[in-house]
Amino acid sequence: MKKQIHDFQIIANRRVNEEYFVLSLSGNRQLPEIKPGQFVQVRVDNAPNTFLRRPFSVYDVDYKKNILYLLIQIVGEGTRILSELKKGEILNLIYPLGNSFSLPDGEKALLIGGGVGVAPLMLLGRWLKEQKKEPVFLFGFRNYGLLVDIDLFTGFGKVHIATDDGSTGEKGLVTQHSFLRKVTGDISMVYTCGPDVMMKAVALWAEKKDIPCEASLENTMACGFGACLCCAQETVHGILHVCTDGPVFNTKELIWQI
Amino acid sequence: MADISVHIGDLHLKNPVAAASGCFGYGTEYEDFIDLGKLGAIFVKGITGSKREGNPSPRMVETSSGMLNSVGLQNKGIDYFISDIYPEIQHYNTHIIVNVSGSTIEEYVMVAEKLNDLEKIPAIELNISCPNVKEGGMMFGTHCPSAIEVTTAVRKVYHKTLIVKLSPNVTSISEFARAVEGAGADAVSLINTLLGMAIDAETQEPVLATVTGGLSGPAIKPVALRMVWEVYNSVKIPVIGIGGIMNATDAIEFMLAGATAVQIGTANFIDPRVTVKVINGIEDYLVKKDITDVNDLVGALKIPGQL
């Protein structure tokens, strides 16, 4: 898919919780096909201390309404400025970037997300359902207040939740969730996105169960399209780049740095 | 319509705007965004004698008006370039200039010798200023006798346009410019990145895996302008200006300081179409100022009180 650079208009800026918000973006032209796992590079205007673009996974796409959705967590000045954007304001995007998740062999797939890492799992869940697969979600959040659009995810499959403080779902890490203990041979693929420690633990669990696992990684990147070579990821094939070789990797190829 | 073509040694550039090495891959990364044929030249990613994996992650950190990187010359080596990359890019309707790096003089010479035989590569840029490799690289660019030695050795085997990329991490960059001019360089390009570092106060650790890295972006533009101006006043060979150019005005400032051409680096990451915008902006400026030849801008800085 040809990479593009365009201005989008903000259709809505919806606050999801204390830390997260969803931008609904619409451009003048029809959106190209955006695959689950792909990302965009957003230019943050009027932000004196924000020099580079910010990469975000595509949260969801509505081709009929021609709207692209981004789920963003406020972590620094750039994302704070984005969180304050109003309907009608303009955002410049480079997209679609990176590779995408692959289709599972069997029917049932487990999508494990932590925090804002649930972002690419929405579009993935939608796609899997469209492909007549059966996605099941397992999400970890710090607490009840940081839950993200559970009702929307539920539209694609069952959602299991773990929270650090037990304020909803099971208390503890996603990898300690009782659902994982009940998993038998019916899950044909695990997809994960979230903090590295979580993804590494998920990858180890999947490996033990002999289930293929794909992880969507994050890394500091300047360009997002393979020119700067900053987002280096160590793999069994040597150093690869998260922006063009990823962001989705088969976890068996990864050499975790943690 | 003003004439915007310039000469770097024997090399004729259709306009003074080139993409900087290390920021433009091999050009292919930008094909979706711009017509590469519009550029004056493309300085492709640094190439070494053999494959280099580059440095561990994190390799990059954003800083005020710029970024630090420690990529470390990741590339697959000269033989891979000749067999796999060159055939894919030689049709570009612009000059492809290869940035050459190494750890030893022999390595520089070997790479330059091989590139000399490639018909569609009319020039090389000798990178004696990469701050992100343990051996060689900047060592040649910060020690004057070494800069002379490597330039002389490459000059002997390389018969096309030889550009030497200078390091700003020296006390007197003019001294190095004069030295490589004397050793046979046809042009100098400057500046490479400024050595810098970033620290995370929370973890009390350096942000980059290599501790230090090279600073680029608008943060370094005033330093780069000053160095271009100093070097322009010290040598007879053409100067190619590099350092934080984000738009046409920045490029024009470099030309006024003495640059015959400019390279755009970091700005490409934020706007992959910036090079073409700068070319258009220079044309607009010439029309507005009623200048018919872009070369009239080179070194045209007017210092009040000086004739």
Buried b (16+ CB within 10 A) or exposed e, B258-269: bbbbbbbbbbbb
Do residues A129 and A150 make contact, with C-beta atoms less than 8 angstroms apart? no
How confident is the model over B149-165, as pLDDT tens digits? 999 999 999 999 999 99
Find all residues with CB under 8 Å of B226, minimum gap 6, and list them. Answer: B257
Q: What is the dihedral of CA B286, B292, B293, B297, to 10 degrees?
A: -50
Q: Is the pLDDT of residue B136 over 70?
A: no
Q: Please give the residue of chain A at the shortest CA–CA distance from B74.
A: A229
In a mutagenesis test of the B interface, which of A93, A219, A239, A257 is the best target, namely the one with the most B β-carbons within 10 Å? Answer: A239
How confident is the model over B174-210, as pLDDT tens digits? 999 999 999 999 999 999 999 999 999 999 999 999 9
How confident is the model over A17-41, as pLDDT tens digits? 999 999 999 999 999 999 999 999 9
Give B62's contacts in chain A (Cβ within 8 Å): 50-52, 220
Across the interface, which of A52, A226, A227 has its CB nearest the CB of B67? A52
Pairs of residues, one from chain A and one from chain B, whose beta carbons lie less than 8 Å apart: 93
The pLDDT-based confidence of B305 (bands split at 50, 70, 90) is confident
In a mutagenesis test of the B interface, which of A2, A45, A230 is the best target, namely the one with the most B β-carbons within 10 Å? Answer: A230
The answer to whether B53 faces chain A, any CB pair under 8 Å, is yes
Specify the pLDDT at position B134. Answer: 64
B71/A43 CB distance under 8 A:
no
Task: Tell me the domain boundaries of chain B.
Answer: 6-297
Choice among B130, B246, B264, B274 that is catalytic: B130
Question: What integer is the mean pLDDT of A207-223?
Answer: 96
Q: Is the pLDDT of residue A191 over 90?
A: yes
Q: Does domain B6-297 have CATH number 3.30.1600.10?
A: no
- Where are any strands of DSSP class E within chain B? 6-8, 11-13, 17-19, 41-47, 60-63, 66-69, 95-100, 123-127, 161-165, 187-190, 194-197, 199-200, 205-206, 212-216, 239-242, 261-264
Q: How far is CA A124 from CA A127, A190, A219, B219, in A?
A: 5, 12, 20, 40
Specify the pLDDT at position B248. Answer: 98
Portion of chain A with pLDDT greater than 90, in percent: 95
Q: Is the pLDDT of residue B137 over 70?
A: no
B205-206 and B199-200 beta bridge pairing: antiparallel
Mean pLDDT computed over every residue of chain B = 95
The answer to whether B10 faces chain A, any CB pair under 8 Å, is no
How confident is the model over A94-125, as pLDDT tens digits? 999 999 999 999 999 999 999 999 999 999 99
| String of DSSP letters for B155-188 | HHH--SEEEEEPPS-SS-HHHHHHHHHHTT-SEE
Give B33's contacts in chain A (Cβ within 8 Å): 3, 5
Q: How far is CA B29 from the centre of its chain?
A: 18
Active site residue B130: yes
Q: Is the pLDDT of residue A220 over 70?
A: yes
The answer to whether B270 faces chain A, any CB pair under 8 Å, is yes
- Within a 10 A sphere around the Cβ of A210, how many other Cβ atoms? 7
- Within a 10 A sphere around the Cβ of A236, how many other Cβ atoms? 10
How confident is the model over B111-130, as pLDDT tens digits? 999 999 999 999 999 999 87
The pLDDT-based confidence of B11 (bands split at 50, 70, 90) is very high
The answer to whether B57 faces chain A, any CB pair under 8 Å, is yes
Q: Is the pLDDT of residue B9 over 70?
A: yes
Distance, CA of B30 to CA of B176 (rounded, Å): 33
A219/B272 CB distance under 8 A:
no
How confident is the model over B34-63, as pLDDT tens digits? 999 999 999 999 999 999 999 999 999 999
Map out the domains of chain A with their CATH numbers: 4-97 (2.40.30.10), 108-215 (3.40.50.80), 217-258 (2.10.240.10)
Distance, CA of B232 to CA of B262 (rounded, Å): 13
Q: Is the pLDDT of residue B132 over 80?
A: no
B268/A223 CB distance under 8 A:
yes
How confident is the model over B272-304, as pLDDT tens digits? 999 999 999 999 999 999 999 999 999 999 999
Specify the pLDDT at position A156. Answer: 98
Specify the pLDDT at position A39. Answer: 98
Portion of chain A with pLDDT greater than 70, in percent: 100
Q: Which two tokens stand for residue B119?
A: 């018909």
Specify the pLDDT at position B129. Answer: 80
B66/A51 CB distance under 8 A:
yes
Q: Is the pLDDT of residue B133 over 80?
A: no
